[in-house]
Amino acid sequence: MKPKKLALSLSGNIVHYRNIVDGLGEFLQHHPEWELQWQDQNLFWNSPQVWNCGADAVVCGVIQESERESVKKFRGEVICVSNRARETRLHSVVVDDREVGRLAGRYLCGLGFRRLVTISENPYFYFQQARFAGLQEIVDNTPGTTAQTFNPWDYGGYEGLVRHLQAGITPPFAIYCVTDMPAVRIAMAAMALGLRIPEEAALLGTDNSLLLCQFSRPRLSSIELNGFALGQRVGELLTELSQSPAPSPLRIEMPPLGVVSRRSTDITALDDPRLAKALSWIREHKGKDMDVDQVAAHAGVSRRLLELRFKEILGRSPYQEILRLRMDHARELLLRTDWPIGRIAEEAGFEEIRTFNTAFRRETGMTPKQWRENTGGVPV
């Protein structure tokens, strides 16, 4: 049977797109019923040529309004992987951007930060709005926490913004950027103006571009979006649609993979040194046998005082913090590895798989196996 042709209309300069293409390429290696259609010697097609290339399907990024008529006339399937605008007229396989923001909020609030700053160069992009909305959900549910959004161009650029932050926000505070490049530019401006990262301002990006993160000073912590699994899901959807076309556009949202921590967030931002010590110890031992009494002993306080300080400052109990970090670790392992559920439960600090399954279902509404299948994790 002759393979179906697939054309790609994506920018090769966007880190997330490159990861999607890697995942899609891995899918195609195992599905000979599909093959790529190149534009001469180029992997990626330009618009609007792609809509007349004769392919059976197109995977695309942003659809401009000027292209809409050409897209309507295209006879094959079209899958959009861009969240610059919320696509409602085409099939979409995209990142769950609201969950990206929640992840950023949980991570930074979990480090003890109560003053958060978000950076937005393009406030009208849907993915930025969704990420900030997700972060705001966490802020609203974390007592004593505030978040402010700034556009560097309102202050003449990144150095102007950093000067404004130095003058107006008491350190320590945390800065979240919806991509890595603005975070790197913040780091460069901070170095020039004497704002110490992470001691005065922790810095978190998004995309986990190794080139940007590794060469940033200091090295940049970043959220990895799991584009590889998203690309594989695109391939699966193409196959599903070729067998049974959908009557209306499908939208599939996939969660981020997790935070890759580096030097730019290597700090616990709490005025109470005993609480900071307790939080650091919990993070370091989240995959080991641990209870609240051990945490209190390590912090040098009574269990009662530790529980009171946790509730007062963090809005949750020490046990809830232990469980939160264990669940985050378990989700990361479900996405990143092909380990069996029993091993993941053990690595995440649960003595019994039954306890792990119960806790996981209570938080997500799914078993670990179901969650792994629904989010593009490695199947076993």
Residues 91-107: tens digit of each pLDDT: 999 999 999 999 999 99
Q: What is the mean pLDDT of residues 206-226?
A: 91
Q: What pLDDT, on a 0 to 100 scale, did the predictor assign at position 155? A: 97
Q: Could you tell me the two tokens for 356? A: 């792990």
Calpha distance 348→340 (Å, rounded)? 12
The CATH number that domain 273-374 falls under is 1.10.10.60
Q: 375 pLDDT exceeds 80?
A: no
Three-state secondary-structure class, residue 5: strand
Residues 255-311: tens digit of each pLDDT: 898 888 888 998 776 667 787 788 878 877 777 777 888 888 888 888 888 888 888
Q: Is 337 left (phi over 0), alpha (psi -120 to 50) or beta?
A: beta
Q: 332 pLDDT exceeds 70?
A: yes
Q: 184 with 219: CB under 8 angstroms?
A: no
Question: pLDDT above 70 covers what percent of the chain?
Answer: 97
Residues 122-149: tens digit of each pLDDT: 889 999 999 999 999 999 998 889 999 9
Inter-helix orientation angle 292-299/318-336, to 10°: 110
CB count, 10 Å around CB of 243? 7
Calpha distance 145→15 (Å, rounded)? 32
- Please say whether the structural domain 4-95+227-254 has been given the CATH code 3.40.50.2300: yes
Q: What is the pTM of this model?
A: 0.79
The topology under which CATH files domain 97-225+259-265 is: Rossmann fold (3.40.50)
Residue 205's H or E segment, with its range, is strand 201-206
Give the strand pairing for 57-60 and 77-80: parallel
Comma-separated ranges of CATH 3.40.50.2300 domains in the chain: 4-95+227-254, 97-225+259-265
Calpha distance 297→295 (Å, rounded)? 5
Residue 363's H or E segment, with its range, is helix 353-364
pLDDT band at 13 (very low <50, low <70, confident <90, very high): low
Q: CA-CA distances (angstroms) from residue 65 to 62, 89, 231? A: 10, 12, 25
Residues 186-195: tens digit of each pLDDT: 999 999 999 9
Q: 175 pLDDT exceeds 90?
A: yes
